[in-house]
Amino acid sequence: MTPSETAEALRTRFSDGVLDLVQFRGEWTALLTRETIRDAAFFCRNQLGYNYSSDVSCTDWLDRNPRFDVVYHITIVPDTVRFRLKVQTNDGEPVPSLIPVWPSMNWGEREVWDLFGIEFEGHPDLSRFLLPEGWIGYPLRKDYAQTQIALPRPKTDKVGE
């Protein structure tokens, strides 16, 4: 299975759910609807052999609608075939969790939630683990004011310096 064959298989199986297929520098990305992402992920795992999801990332496009890109990086491990599944969303529109497909997505989805505020529908534990409890806001959003960050000043035991 090659990335281009994966792209064609997704287009054939999920025609209306595939919004775009992009090849850039030999790497393929499928832009899918939120309603299709989980079924497409199961299809990639069960039918196409993508047995590993290495990461989930997010990009904030502040002035675009939909604002956020959530991108899953998937791999066929023995052959090192890589592909990306992407879904777009806005604030307050949850993305289906892919933990039922790849349990390793637990930490990645929590990281995206913690730093961007993207909710994952069906995630068993969306709780902070990078930022302290009680942190207000999502620091990787482009509209997050950097002046909101108030860190404690370091203590010094040196007097007179």
pLDDT in tens, 33-59: 999 999 999 999 999 999 999 999 999
pLDDT score of 65: 97
Contacts (Cβ under 8 Å, ≥6 apart) of 155: none
Tell me: pLDDT of 159 over 60.
no
Can you tell me the distance from the alpha carbon of 73 to that of 115, in angstroms, rounded to the nearest whole number?
Answer: 18
Count the Cβ atoms, other than its own, within 10 Å of residue 152.
5
Delineate the domains of the chain, giving CATH numbers in brackets: 3-148 (3.30.460.80)
Tell me: pLDDT of 129 over 90.
no
pLDDT band at 156 (very low <50, low <70, confident <90, very high): low
CA-nearest of 93, 88, 106, 115 to 30 is: 88
Sheet with 81-89: strands ordered across: 18-24, 27-32, 81-89, 68-76, 52-60
pLDDT in tens, 10-36: 999 999 999 999 999 989 999 999 999
pLDDT in tens, 53-110: 999 999 999 999 999 999 999 999 989 999 999 999 999 999 999 999 999 999 999 9
Cβ atoms of residues 95 and 121 within 8 Å: yes
Which of the two residues, 128 and 145, has the higher pLDDT score? 128
